[in-house]
Chain A
Amino acid sequence: MFNLLSILFKYVFIIIIYLFIFSIIRLIYLDIKSINPVSADDSAYLKLINRMDSLPYKIKEHYSIHGQLTLGRANDNNIYIKDPFVSKRHMKVTEDEGKYYLEDLNSANGTFLNEERIFDVVKLDSGDIIKVGNVEFLFVNRG
């Protein structure tokens, strides 16, 4: 009896191990596909803090900032997030002579910098955390 089971199970085990490997590879693949790698010349970028697979909408892990970066629910934003708490045009980051500034575009639910809601244009420092709706970004400036 045991022998029979053992022989049956050995195939099952192998199938499970490979399914496991496959599912992990698939997750990693999805992960990579949605990242545009931080290229070395990217001086500043926003990095997603939330675990990507915990968000129910399409989002990337890195967004590099070239001149200006807008965020909102509308598709023509650089970062568009289908989150009900995000306004159509929510906020933007602009670059000026190597410095980066964050500005809220009169959004309904506001933009938070390091847990504080902002009302004016604010200068960003590397390591700042920007929160919009449920999404959190880390601002990194390597310039």
Chain B
Amino acid sequence: MLKNGVSPKSPRNLLFLFEVLSLFLLFIYQWESVNRYTYITGIGLIFIIYISNLILNRISKGDNYIFLIVTMLISIGVIMIYRIDSELGVKQLIWLSFGIFIFYLTYFTLRFIRGWQKWITLYIGVAYILFILTFILGTRKYGAINWIQIGSFSFQPAEITKILLIFILASYYSNTEKFKKYKNAKYYIMLIVYSFIGLLFLQKDLGTALIFYGIFVAIQFIYEEDRRLILYNLGLFAIGGIIGYGLFDHVKVRILTWIDPWSYIDNKGYQITQSLFAIAEGGFFGTGLGLGHPEFIPLAYTDFIFPAICEEMGLFAGIGIIMLFLILVYRGFKIALSQINPFFRILALGVSILFGVQSIIILGGVLKVLPLTGITLPFVSYGGSSVLSSFIVLGILQVASEDLPIDEDLKLEEENNEIRD
């Protein structure tokens, strides 16, 4: 069976075929308005994805599935975005190229600079600075103050802070021995994370707040020796939720429209019901690309891209996307389990949990399984900050999938750990 070697050729070719066919279809769809951009998008997409898969196989000895999975998600996303709005499709492609560049940049930076686990104070500091910047410079977009506009370029600082959160947690839990000398280190770390969540709450960015909470609880569940803290955490979540529901209107609205969107169909429940219409209309196989009406779904190119895909490509394509995320998360955990460097192991875990939690929150949201919060579907949704941060995160995972030397001082500490265990 393995005689000829199992090459990832087959999925790569399938990906290629998928892109060629769908772009061909889109060209016919916009036959009258085919222009330079159309060709750039088409050839650009195929080229960028094929080449970057090829390069990665050469330079990284780590996992070669995650990038492949991600490129499939990207392809579906770009095609859908392009179908909704060709201009955005081209822009998304530019973001993706930039994103892949950032991916490699992250990969090399992380690989060749040592000592990432020592700079916890730096991460915390940067995170707070980003929060402060958001409050000073932030503009309101879709009800949340979480965008910073610099010239024509706007980005969401929270996309960066969530990566910093993973670094903070990884540095803390891979150095617990070191932090033992501070008496209440575990409470301080909890306080810091909760201050982040509180700030996000004030920015009305509930989706990101949930992601932060999810990552924190999961990592804490795995590594915290003081098991009571986890209970505190769950308790705090419940109390926070109830207080939030009572104090903040935007929380209340989310819950009400989640329980019964049909009563608020012409105002607050509009988005979620339009999403449900699209999914229902798509059926199992979809209406066919270009034959549905994603223009009826608000924000169909970002947060609500999943119902748009379901409408035109069908429930099966939707399930396909979920399965791709499932495999991605699974791979991420697999990478974490075989990584011996504790810092990178926790990084890999954090990153995988991030992908998992973020996609579950938005998928559950548009399906009315969970209250709807406005966050992007990683790699599929349109959006510069989202694409870039997702690729940084993927770069981290790529590094973590390789064999990394254990730093001397760290190794000693780890040995101590094990003796104690």
Residues of B in contact, count (CB < 8 Å): 54
Asked if A6 is at the interface of the complex by the 8 Å CB criterion, the answer is yes
What separation, in Å, do the CA atoms of A44 and B198 have in the docked complex? 46
Asked if B291 is at the interface of the complex by the 8 Å CB criterion, the answer is yes
Residues B6 and A3 in contact, CB atoms below 8 Å apart: no
Contacts of A16 in B (CB 8 A): 14, 17-18, 21
Residues A17 and B72 in contact, CB atoms below 8 Å apart: yes
Select from chain B the residue with minimum beta-carbon distance to A59.
B2
Asked if A47 is at the interface of the complex by the 8 Å CB criterion, the answer is yes
Asked if B286 is at the interface of the complex by the 8 Å CB criterion, the answer is yes
Asked if B295 is at the interface of the complex by the 8 Å CB criterion, the answer is no
Residues 286-315 of B, flagged 1 when their CB comes within 8 A of A and 0 if not, give: 111111000000000000000000001110
Contacts of B287 in A (CB 8 A): 10
What separation, in Å, do the CA atoms of A23 and B3 have in the docked complex? 17
Select from chain B the residue with minimum beta-carbon distance to A11.
B285
Select from chain A the residue with minimum beta-carbon distance to B411.
A126
What separation, in Å, do the CA atoms of A28 and B316 have in the docked complex? 22
Asked if B323 is at the interface of the complex by the 8 Å CB criterion, the answer is yes
Given contacts A21-B327, A38-B338, contact A10 B289 (CB under 8 A): yes
Residues 12-54 of A, flagged 1 when their CB comes within 8 A of B and 0 if not, give: 1110111111011101101000100010000000010111111
Residues A9 and B5 in contact, CB atoms below 8 Å apart: no
Q: Closest CB of chain A to B304's CB: distance in Å?
A: 20
Cβ < 8 Å to B, chain A residues 90-143: 126-127, 138, 140, 142
What separation, in Å, do the CA atoms of A17 and B320 have in the docked complex? 7
Residues B320 and A6 in contact, CB atoms below 8 Å apart: no
The listed residue with most A CB atoms (<10 A of its CB), out of B6, B285, B317, B406, is B6
A-B pairs, top 5 by smallest CB distance, nearest first, are: A6-B288, A17-B320, A53-B6, A23-B11, A20-B14
Further pairs besides A14-B316, A20-B72, A47-B403: 15, Cβ < 8 Å: A5-B25, A9-B289, A13-B22, A13-B289, A13-B313, A17-B320, A20-B15, A21-B320, A21-B324, A23-B11, A24-B11, A24-B69, A34-B2, A49-B61, A127-B405
